[in-house]
Structure 1
Amino acid sequence: MLHHEEVIWRQKAHYDWLVLGDHNTNSFHTRTLRRCKQNRITTLKNGLDEWIMDDEQLNLEAVKFYSILYGEHLRSRKDFPSSAFLRLNDKNFNFLNRPVPNEEIKITLFDMASLKALRSDGYHALFYQSQWEHVGDSVCTWVKGIFEAPKQTGFVARRDITDNIVIAQEVIHSVRGTQKNMKCMAVKINLEKAYD
């Protein structure tokens, strides 16, 4: 009986949300206030395992935590061999470094799902596909600008940041092909932290 009543209330709440949505109603404001109260951080445990409840101390602790998390740590591993990663040969380097042809951009765009997701400018891929005669040159110029930007290179001389994709795939492939008794480990680096 209680389960049945719970289901009814859940359906009513879902119906209210569908009908009222985020209109300026009492229901919307009640939900917003409840969500704010639920999401408010009132206590944190610092690095010394002490609980902090003061608002100013909470702010300082949050800034300190994220400064350490996303801050710069200049540590080098002296025991890590510099020859651990293979370099691209000239053929692969030249292939990855070549200008992107307009035809490749068009093929890639037309291979996208037409209505799957909005692009960053708010348009579906269908818009660009149907209006290619009018916007094709602009799209190609924009895409080439991304690939040919002077700030796109990584931190290794003569290596584009896109080379790292190939390197990662080759490393994982070689790790999978190693003998069972050889121990290997792959580390996924948060690029947002690495390139901040």
Structure 2
Amino acid sequence: MTSKPAAPSNRQSSSAIPLVKPQCKIHPSATVADKAQLIGPHVIEIDEGAVIHPHAKIKAEYGNIAIGKGTIVSEKAIVGLSEESGEDTTLVVGEGVSIESGAIVEARKIGDHATLGINCRVGEGAVLGKWCKIAPLCEVGPNEVLDDYTVVFGEGRKGRRVDVVVRDRKEVREARLKGTEMERQLLRGIIVDMSLIS
């Protein structure tokens, strides 16, 4: 048995570019997973009770990000302004918003209690009213403005409607709020437990 020295490699080694850590203002009751990515030179504010899943990405590269009270940002979701947004811009995500897995949010504002479905996209500069719902895989175009209670379920104006049940029935809104609070409580326990074992 003989050992030969390894042949010289033509591969060049590369080092990863270090990520710029943002100034973060995270409320003590917020849950931010260890594997969540918070990057960029601008300020990221995460309000009380918010939950940021592992592998969610909050990008403060082109402006400040404000995540509202009780908002949930799921795994592989990306929240951040685009380069076209301009300096001194803040992306505001309202209270009780649910940003589901793979969603991309470059909007200027997301209203309270909105739901952004799996792999949906909310374009640069868009403004969503309260209780809006974007269905999975659907898109809100750049600078588009949606009124309160708008549901996006397809392309163009034909893929829009007003959710009159949520708008007109307080008990439905209260039931959704209760369900979202139960989800947040469950997630806090799971995310904390996962960070202890990984």
Pairwise TM-score range, normalised by the shorter structure? under 0.3
Larger helix proportion, structure 1 or 2? 1
Which of 1 and 2 has higher RCO (CA within 8 Å, sep 6+)? 1
Structure with higher Rg: it is 1
Q: TM-score scaled by structure 2? A: 0.24
Larger strand proportion, structure 1 or 2? 2
Q: TM-score scaled by structure 1? A: 0.25
